[in-house]
Chains A and B, each alone.
Chain A
Amino acid sequence: MGPLIFRHLSLSSFGLPPVWTAGGGSELNIVAVLNCMYDLIQLHRRGLRTLENMEVEQLKSNSNVDFLQLSTTRLKEQLEISKRENTGLLERERQLQLKVKSLQNCLKNEKEEVQKLQNVIASRASQYNHEMKRKEREFNKLKERLNQLLVDKKEKKQAIDVLNNIGRADGKRSLWKTEKTEAKHEGEMYKTLLSDYDTRQRELQLENAELRKVLQQMKKDMVSILSSRKQAAKDVLPTLLNFIQAASEEEDEVFDSSKDSVELYCVHAREKLTNSIRLQWRRLKSHVERLDSQAQTSESKTADAVPRETHEEEMDRLKLEIQQCKDFIQAQQQLLQQQLSSPCDEETASLLSDCYMLQEKERLGDEWKTLEEQRKIFERERRNFTEAAIRLSHERKAFEEERATWLKHQFLNLSPFSDSKKPSLSKSKSAFLICECLFLFPSLSEPPSCVPLTSPSTADLYRTLCLIPEDRYGLDLNF
């Protein structure tokens, strides 16, 4: 049952009448089945046919596509080719146009040439015609003259009529024409020519010598320049040394030859000189070029424009400075002029006479004052010192006398008894001390009776006083 139902359903889906009705039992309608089968077969066949057709169609379209593809590629290629041809043709056209232009120029030039030549021909033709006419006129005159002469019976002969012969200009007698005179003339002619050549040769010699001197000078200068640059460029040192060596060698050669400069006429010496000049010049040129390139590379590190700018700034600054100085000088000039030229009266003249020195004078006055004060101070001090010195010498004198008396006392009082003279003891003690000091250690000690001086140089003063040789008591105070 199942498959039947299934078939039933299928048939209806195909649009075919059902072959089995539900109430018909299990009998199949054979006709219907056959019809269905026939319909199915027809359908199938149709389907197959359609499939075939579609396959054919597909094949066709495939082949169409292929064909179209082929044709596109072909057309693309053709397009490329034609584009290339086009550019080629354009190029040719351009070249042809250029050629046309140049040919037109040529044509113009040729036309001008032709015009010029025509002008030349015209002028030559007019010149020839003119000459022809002139010659014809002369010929006619000649013919007429000939006729006239033939007709004329009387022929006038040439004649000269002189009152008296005059002497020759140089007063000499004229000579007969002989071979000797002819030879003499030849000789004179050659002499003239030779003397002319001589003078010319001498001039050329002088010129030559001058030029040679200049060349040698140039060479020396070049060599010196190259050698002086030795210090400047270190990296080219070895090459330069070679230069110098070679140059010095050559210099020796030339130096020798320059001694006999008169003999420098042989071709070799001349060539040597010119060749050496050329060589030096080439070297100098290459050296300068190298230096230039070096300078450029060093410049290019810090940008080319900067140095120039700083240069310009420097220049401007300097110019400004110069201008300022000039203005200043001018102002001064003007003032000076005013000063010299202004007619001032005596008062102002006297006032102004020392006006330039006023400041100086004031300063001088001040300094003088201070110096004076200082001098006074020094004077005072010196006076004090001298007073102190005098006092000191007095005191010393007194002290010496005291000491002498004390010694006398001591000597006189040389006894085992103790000294009762106390009051003088301190004094004498002190005197003794001082004496001791003076005897043993002639060192410094402040005498108690000294007036205390304010100046710090009291010690110095003492020292200086001690230094003063006072040999009255036979004391050796010099130490």
Chain B
Amino acid sequence: MLWLSYIMQQKYYSVPKDENEGGLVLFCCSHQATCVQYRLVVRDVSTLQILQLYTCLDQVSHMEWSSDSLFILCAMYNRGLVQVWSLEQPDWHCKIDEGSIGLVSSRWSPDGRHILNTTEFHLRVTVWSLCTKAVSYIKHPKACQKAVDFSRDGRYLALAERRDCKDYVCVFVCDDWHLLRHFETETQDLAGLEWSPNGCVLAVWDSCLEYKVLLYSLDGRLLSTYSAYEWSLGVKSVSWSPSSQFLAIGSYDEKVRILNHITWKKIAQFEHPAILDSTKATVYKEVEKRPAVGSDEMSLHSITIGTTLFNTQSKYEISPLPVQIPVVKPDPDRANPKIGISALAFSSDSRYLATKNDNMATAVWVWDMQKMSLQAVLEQTSAVRCFQWDPLRPRLALCTGNAKLYLWSPGGCVSVQVPAEGGFQVQSLNWHCSGDSVILLGKEQLCLCYMDTDQEDK
């Protein structure tokens, strides 16, 4: 059971961002930072009280906390500048200027003392050290979906390289940026790479023109190759389970294939049919409760609050089988068609997998990894924008761009109205690392949502 015990809201104005960045709001475990144009505001996460205020030189494009939550980097891609602020010493400052070479992306290293800047046109990656002011360069980084990945323990960095029309992977030791391994991959056009949570296996996948997933061991040996089919569009998304036991591959053929870590062979295949006929899963359908028009509730008070007028209440109903999920056929002439599994997420105990099929954008599918079968389907009234698992419990939070927060757990699911003024639309959400609160990001507002810790044991 969850209770929304305490909700606060804040307003902020943000720069229109590309869709990948969920707004300029970030959490670390103890603080929350908000960036407005060029002003950086740091708040305490439990009281939202302003602690620090910084001013950057230009409009901030990207903001990131360091791993030890002591520093924040603010990158300004237009100017090719990166500014780093310290929380402990507000007077401390650091500015990195990339010069004429430009800046396309900037990120922290896992130790929180190095910054990796990718220059324009992906000419090189510059590694700046805040301890020694030393610089390292990494040449020929690849410009693809996910070219850089740090292992979870922060010891190794895997970077995709494209040299002489061939793909390579470089493995660096984050301690001193020593190149540990450099090997060629058997991909046509490497699209992404990801370390397994135990840091021993690197999954590398090809672009959507070829279905190929390669698994390399930490020392560069090819462990296995997996290819489900030829010619049709291939891999769309990849995700490791937190226990490193499973690798989930979502593809354009609307299926998720699960590989196991012992033989690297497919052990299960999850399909997303439009008509659910014979399944033991529960299908939750969001049903909107229309507000009573012309009733006593239409008082001035309620109108000003806007909860009854603009935001309709909704609840979940269990649909009886067979269920038909609305499908939107993608435009066949466009590239990167809106079909296939684009989002995969394992719960923290590796027990559940949540998936989203792009041509059934209103549905989120939850699979039970113990039974290797469908557990639940959540059908929303509008397209699901974002979903994320609680870092500690098997609890899934999702949002569809309206003023509601939806939560699913094995016990059931609930639709929570966000009490906010005007049209607050939840565009994305982020869990706090303790699993006690969720931050909901809208276009111009953010809302912090606290979960009541359940007293009883279930």
Q: Which residue of A lies closest to B67 (CB)?
A: A169
Give the distance in Å from the alpha carbon of A168 to the alpha carbon of B130 in the complex: 9
- How far in angstroms is the closest Cβ of chain A from B228? 14
Interface residues on A, range: 35 or more
The proximity string for A residues 156-172 relative to B, scoring 1 for CB distances below 8 Å and 0 otherwise, is 11111111111111100
Of B25-33, B93-101, B158-166, B290-298, the one contacting chain A is B93-101
Q: Mark A293-306, 1 if CB is under 8 A from B, else 0.
A: 00000000000000
A124-B209, A163-B92, A190-B219 known; A204+B262 contact, CB < 8 A:
yes
The size class of the interface chain B forms with chain A is 35 or more
Q: How far apart sit A32 and B133, CA to CA, in the bound complex (Å)? A: 176
Kindly provide the distance from the CB of B284 to the nearest chain A CB, expressed in whole angstroms.
33
Interchain CB contact under 8 A, B178 and A158: no
- Checking A141, A160, A188, A193 against B121 with a beta-carbon cut-off of 8 angstroms, the contacting residue is A141
Q: Which of B67, B92, B261 contacts A164 (CB 8 A)?
A: B92
B135 adjacent to A158 (CB under 8 Å): yes
Q: Which of B99, B112, B219 is within 8 Å of A193, CB to CB? A: B219
A457 within 8 A of B: no
Instruction: Choose among A123, A152, A169 the residue that contacts B233 (Cβ–Cβ < 8 A).
Output: A123
A93 sits at the interface (CB 8 A)? no
Cα A145 to Cα B119 with chains together (Å): 13
B211 to chain A, nearest CB (A): 12
Verify if B231 is at the interface (C-beta below 8 Å from A).
yes
Is B200 within 8 A of A126, CB to CB?
no
B contact residues around A162 at 8 Å (CB): 93-95, 130, 133
CA distance A165 to B91 in the complex (A): 13
Task: Flag if B133 contacts A160 (CB, 8 Å).
Answer: yes
Question: In whole angstroms, how far apart are the Cα atoms of A346 and B233 in the complex?
Answer: 90
With A127-B209, A189-B180 given, is the CB distance from A155 to B121 under 8 Å? no
Contact assessment for B101 and A193 in the assembled complex, using a CB-CB cutoff below 8 Å:
no
Binds A, one of B271-279, B330-338, B432-440: B330-338
When C-beta atoms are compared, the residue in chain A nearest to B120 turns out to be A145
- Which segment, of A38-46, A178-186, A236-244, A360-368, faces chain B? A178-186
> Within 8 Å of chain B (Cβ to Cβ): is A122?
yes
| A259 close to B (CB within 8 Å) | no
B337 in contact with A123 (CB, 8 Å): yes
Which residues of B are found within 8 Å of A142, using beta-carbon distances?
121
Contact B97 A160 (CB under 8 A): yes
Q: How far is the CB of A21 from chain B (nearest CB, A)?
A: 129
Residues from chain B with Cβ under 8 Å of A131 in the complex: 335
A165 near B111: Cβ-Cβ < 8 Å: no
Q: Tell me if A102 counts as interface (CB < 8 A to partner B).
A: no
In the complex, the chain A residue whose C-beta lies closest to that of B153 is A192
The answer to whether B21 has its CB under 8 Å from any CB of chain A is no
In chain B, what residue has the closest Cβ to A165?
Answer: B131
In the complex, whether B373 has a CB less than 8 A from a CB of chain A is no
Bound Cα distance A186, B173 (Å): 10
User: Residue A174 at the B interface, CB < 8 A?
Assistant: yes
A129 at the interface (CB under 8 A from B): yes
Choose from A124, A160, A192, A200 the contact partner of B95 (Cβ within 8 Å). A160
Query: Whole-angstrom distance between the alpha carbons of A434 and B111 in the complex?
Result: 136
A167 to B101, CA, bound (A): 29
Rounded to whole Å, the gap between the CB of B291 and the closest CB of chain A is 44
Q: Binary interface profile of A, 75-118, with partner B (CB < 8 Å = 1, else 0)? A: 00000000000000000000000000000000000000000010
Residues of B within 8 A of A204 (CB): 262
Min CB distance A276 to B, Å, is: 26
The reply to whether the CB of A313 lies closer than 8 angstroms to some CB of chain B is no
- Say yes or no: is B132 at the interface (Cβ < 8 Å to chain A): yes
Distance to closest chain B CB from A168 (angstroms): 5
Asked if B18 lies at the interface with its beta carbon under 8 angstroms from chain A, I say no
- The listed residue (A160, A169, A189) touching B113 by CB distance below 8 A is A169
Contact with A along B107-142 (1 / 0, CB 8 A): 000011100000011000010101111010000000
Is B199 interfacial (CB-CB < 8 Å)? yes
* Nearest chain A residue, comparing its CB with the CB of B96: A160
Set A129, A152, A161, A181: member contacting B94, Cβ < 8 A: A161
Residues of B within 8 A of A155 (CB): 99-100
CA distance A152 to B101 in the complex (A): 13
B231 CB contacts on chain A under 8 angstroms: 117, 120, 124
- Contact between chains at A196 and B198 (CB < 8 Å): yes
| Minimal Cβ-Cβ distance residue in B for A177 | B176
Cβ-neighbour of B100 out of A124, A156, A192 (below 8 A): A156
A158 and B101 in contact (CB under 8 A), knowing A164-B92, A192-B199, A193-B219?
Answer: yes
Instruction: Write out, one digit per residue, whether chain B residues 156-194 have a CB within 8 A of any chain A CB (1) or not (0).
Output: 100000000000000001011010100000000000000
Q: How far is the CA of A193 from the CA of B91 in the complex (A)?
A: 43
Name the CB-closest residue of B to A176.
Answer: B176
The answer to whether A130 has its CB under 8 Å from any CB of chain B is yes
Q: Does A149 contact B (CB under 8 A)?
A: yes
A175 within 8 A of B: yes
Asked whether any CB of chain B lies closer than 8 Å to the CB of A138, the reply is yes
Q: Which residue of A lies closest to B123 (CB)?
A: A142
Which chain B positions have C-beta within 8 A of A130? Answer: 335-336
Contacts of B68 in A (CB 8 A): 169
How far does the alpha carbon of A161 sit from the alpha carbon of B336 in the complex, in Å?
Answer: 42
Q: Is the CB–CB distance between A149 and B100 below 8 Å?
A: yes
Tell whether B59 is near chain A: CB-to-CB under 8 Å: no
**Complex alpha-carbon distance, A167 and B128, angstroms:** 14
Q: Cβ of A169: which chain B residues have Cβ within 8 Å of it?
A: 67-68, 111-113
B131: contacting residue among A119, A138, A174, CB under 8 A: A174
Residues of chain A within 8 A (CB-CB) of B337 are 123
Asked whether B233 lies within 8 Å of A127 as measured between CB atoms, the reply is yes
**Contact flags A391-423 to B (C-beta < 8 A → 1, else 0):** 000000000000000000000000000000000
Q: Is the pair B232, A120 in contact by a Cβ cutoff of 8 Å?
A: yes
**A132-145 interface bits toward B, Cβ cutoff 8 Å, 1 = contact, 0 = none:** 00000010011001
Given contacts A158-B101, A158-B126, A169-B112, 19 further A-B contacts (CB under 8 A): A124-B209, A126-B333, A152-B100, A156-B97, A159-B99, A160-B95, A162-B130, A163-B94, A165-B132, A166-B131, A168-B113, A175-B176, A177-B176, A181-B176, A185-B175, A190-B219, A193-B200, A193-B218, A196-B200
Contacts from A to B (Cβ < 8 Å):
117, 119-120, 122-124, 126-131, 138, 141-142, 145, 149, 152, 155-170, 174-175, 177, 181-182, 185-186, 188-190, 192-193, 196, 200, 204
* Residues in B lying within 8 Å of A, measured CB to CB: 67-68, 86, 91-102, 111-113, 120-121, 126, 128, 130-133, 135, 155-156, 173, 175-176, 178, 180, 198-200, 208-209, 217-219, 231-233, 261-262, 332-337
What 4 A-B pairs have minimum CB-CB distances, sorted nearest first? A130-B335, A156-B99, A196-B200, A158-B99
What are 6 A-B residue pairs whose CB atoms fall within 8 Å in the complex? A124-B209, A155-B100, A159-B96, A165-B130, A169-B113, A181-B178
